[in-house]
């Protein structure tokens, strides 16, 4: 009713490359991916989520979590290519991985959050971000203690070193697994 003007938004089509990426990184079938995309596109016709849309969605899905405190970190986990938006593919793959039972798979998501330049390592600057986050949220860990896990002595931690270190620290492991937990 009334004089409401509706915006015409061009609906983005799912590409074959996106479908293949989701098929390779999840257990979803092509049909399931199509159904998920049809539902996603009804809410987000552009085919992606801006940060503010993502934050609103996360708060709606998990109202009991301390989402304000962690939204920046959670957004970084979902925005795997660090371009400031979460695509349908990034969203589906990350949600799928969050639901995995194995803690190591979940910790790979956390590693991605800190590996800002996507080189497969966390360097000194990225390690400082880890230490700051840990100190603010669960326990004090020194740079030297973290670097004891640098088994190849590269001055950086690779994904496996990060996961082994985290798995050996119960409080830290719980903190990170709670951070990306799907269900309360």
Q: What is the pLDDT of residues 75-126, one digit of tens each?
A: 877 887 778 899 999 888 888 877 776 888 888 878 887 887 778 888 888 7
Output the six-digit token pair for 123: 């360097």
pLDDT tens for 56-82 read: 887 777 666 655 656 777 787 788 777
What is the pTM for the complete model shown?
Answer: 0.63
Rg from Cα positions in the chain: 18
Residue predicted with more confidence, 1 or 113:
113
pLDDT tens for 24-45 read: 888 899 999 999 999 999 988 8
Strand partners, 122: 157
Which is it for strands 48-50 and 121-122: parallel, antiparallel or unpaired? unpaired
Residue 29 is predicted with a pLDDT of 94
Integer Cα distance of 16 and 129 in angstroms: 36
Residues contacting 27, CB < 8 A, separation 6+? 96
DSSP 181: -
> For the chain, which domains are there?
15-98 (1.10.238.10), 102-184 (1.10.238.10)
CA-CA-CA-CA dihedral for 152, 154, 155, 161, to nearest 10: -40
């Amino acid at each position: 009713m009334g004089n409401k003007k509706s915006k015409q938004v061009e609906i983005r089509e799912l590409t074959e490359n996106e479908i293949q990426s989701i098929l390779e990184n999840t257990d979803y079938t092509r049909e399931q991916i199509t159904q998920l995309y049809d539902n996603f596109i009804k809410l987000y016709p552009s085919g992606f989520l801006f940060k503010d849309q993502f934050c609103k969605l996360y708060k709606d899905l998990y109202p009991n979590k301390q989402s304000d405190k962690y939204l920046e970190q959670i957004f970084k986990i979902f925005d795997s290519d660090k371009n400031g938006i979460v695509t349908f593919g990034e969203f589906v793959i990350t949600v799928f991985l969050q639901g995995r039972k194995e803690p190591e798979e979940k910790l790979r998501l956390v590693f991605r959050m800190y590996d800002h330049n996507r080189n497969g390592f966390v360097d000194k600057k990225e390690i400082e971000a880890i230490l700051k986050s840990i100190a603010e949220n669960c326990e004090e860990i020194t740079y030297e203690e973290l670097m004891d896990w640098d088994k190849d002595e590269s001055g950086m931690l690779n994904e496996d070193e990060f996961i082994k270190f985290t798995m050996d620290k119960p409080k830290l492991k719980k903190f990170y697994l709670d951070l990306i937990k799907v269900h309360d």
